[in-house]
């Protein structure tokens, strides 16, 4: 292979890698939101975050099989509007959707922002090992 062909191949690989990295960053931003979103929700909409976390902790206290992975999967399913395969995920999703219907004063976008912030919190506090409840234990200390 000539030197020119190797250079072109290397450039093409770099370009594909750059596109993948950009797509991952965009997906991560869509999923978790930006830091300013976190600040906005914590400072101006704590009630929404508390509603979401109350439902999660209530279900955790009812079903001890619930773990951080199930919580994260549920939040992603709601944010991305997908149907979960796991029964525990589906049950928690239904409970969160019921709580959402009770808050008709909150826009869908604002509720989704709250879900993103809670998902970020799950990722910050969990190691996601099977059965891990670090996030649930952390938040459970604040919810009576």
pLDDT in the model for residue 36: 84
pLDDT digits (tens, 9 = 90+) for 100-114: 999 999 999 999 999
Predicted TM-score (pTM) of this structure: 0.75
Query: Who's near 40: CB < 8 A, 6+ residues apart?
Result: 113
Phi-psi region of 10 (alpha: psi -120 to 50; beta: other; left: phi over 0): alpha
pLDDT digits (tens, 9 = 90+) for 54-88: 999 999 999 989 999 999 999 999 999 999 999 99
Looking at residue 81, the DSSP 8-state letter turns out to be T
pLDDT in the model for residue 30: 56
């Amino acid at each position: 292979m000539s030197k020119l062909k190797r250079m072109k191949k290397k450039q093409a690989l770099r370009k594909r890698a750059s596109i993948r990295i950009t797509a991952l960053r965009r997906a991560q931003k869509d999923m978790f939101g930006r830091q300013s979103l976190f600040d906005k929700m914590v400072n101006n909409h704590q009630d929404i975050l508390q509603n979401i976390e109350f439902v999660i902790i209530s279900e955790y206290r009812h079903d001890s099989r619930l773990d951080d992975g199930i919580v994260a999967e549920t939040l992603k399913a709601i944010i991305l509007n997908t149907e979960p395969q796991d029964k525990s995920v589906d049950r928690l999703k239904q409970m969160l959707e019921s709580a959402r219907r009770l808050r008709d004063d909150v826009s869908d976008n604002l509720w989704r922002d709250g879900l993103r912030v809670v998902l970020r919190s799950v990722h910050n506090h969990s190691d996601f090992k099977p059965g891990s409840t670090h996030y649930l234990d952390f938040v459970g200390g604040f919810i009576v």
